[in-house]
Amino acid sequence: MTYQDTQRRYGVISLLFHWTMALLIIVQFMALGGYINEGEHWIGNNIVPWHVDIGLLLLVLVSLRIIWMLSQRQRRPEVHGQGAMQLLAKGGHFLLYACMVLMPVTGILLMVGGGHGLGFLGIELVAESKNEIPWAVALGEWHAQISWLFVALVLGHFAAALYHHFIKHDDTLIRMTAKRFDQS
Ligand code: HEM
Ligand code: HEM
């Protein structure tokens, strides 16, 4: 198994980016638990307090991932399908990237714009302030809206992966894992 992608499969670096970020993003979706009992439950008390730290880590990861993806563009596997279906898959991947960037950016705008400041693992990055920045809050308010689009995209993406694996029996899911695809 190579570090770089090949035309047949994703390499170790792409696998690490994909699955580490997928896990952290699903953890971030737990913030939707705020709608249940006003967030007063185990997830609200133990997972959601890490939301900003994990979100900032995801911003660093997505920046590195985009650089990596651009460097592997000519090498990595072609998305399966033809015409409209291929366009849908490629458009879906593009929107997933857009959400991975926009979520942390709007989150930061919400926090800084609202005067709450910003910290990472206890290190202060932006100090609290009494002054709100109205334009930053207005843009930051898209955070919740975009999160719903993101959840829908991930569900569609998950369903597409299962469809390829269990119904079409092709290598789409396997090439995003460390396993080899066996035609038999
Ligand atoms: C990929 C990264 C992120 C994802 C997937 C994500 C996801 C979410 C979700 C699903 C919610 C609940 C929305 C709702 O209640 O309708 C939320 C709320 C929130 N997030 Fe994030 N988030 C991310 C990054 C960040 C970052 C980096 C920050 C701050 C620096 C942040 C700050 C907030 C705040 C303040 C709220 C509560 C306000 C609101 O509901 O609009 N998030 N986030
Ligand atoms: C939770 C958040 C997730 C995000 C943001 C995400 C994002 C992406 C993106 C952007 C790609 C394109 C390749 C790349 O640039 O890395 C991709 C490929 C892929 N993802 Fe995900 N993914 C997520 C979760 C999942 C899950 C849960 C599964 C399946 C169980 C999955 C299965 C796949 C497969 C099979 C591919 C390869 C598609 C192909 O080669 O045509 N992903 N994912």
Query: What single-letter DSSP state applies at residue 11?
Result: -
Q: Kindly tell me if the per-residue pLDDT of 182 is higher than 80.
A: no
How far is Cα 47 from Cα 43, in angstroms, rounded to an integer? 5
Ligand 2 contact via 118 beta carbon (within 6 Å):
no
Residue 1 lies in a domain: no
**pLDDT tens digits, residue range 48-61?**
999 999 999 999 99
Ligand 2 contact via 59 beta carbon (within 6 Å):
no
Structural domain count of the chain: 1
**Atom number in ligand 1 closest to CA 108:** 30
Residue 184 lies in a domain: no
What pLDDT is attached to residue 183? Answer: 53
Residue range(s) defining the domain that contains residue 41:
12-176
Q: Which residues line ligand 1 at a C-beta cut-off of 6 Å?
A: 25, 28-29, 31-32, 34, 51-52, 55-56, 58, 100, 103-104, 107-108, 110-111, 118, 143-144, 147, 150
Tell me what the mean pLDDT of segment 83-104 comes to: 97
Residue 181 lies in a domain: no
Residue 53 lies in a domain: yes
Residue 21 lies in a domain: yes
Return the CATH number at 105: 1.20.950
Residue 152 lies in a domain: yes
What pLDDT is attached to residue 130? Answer: 95
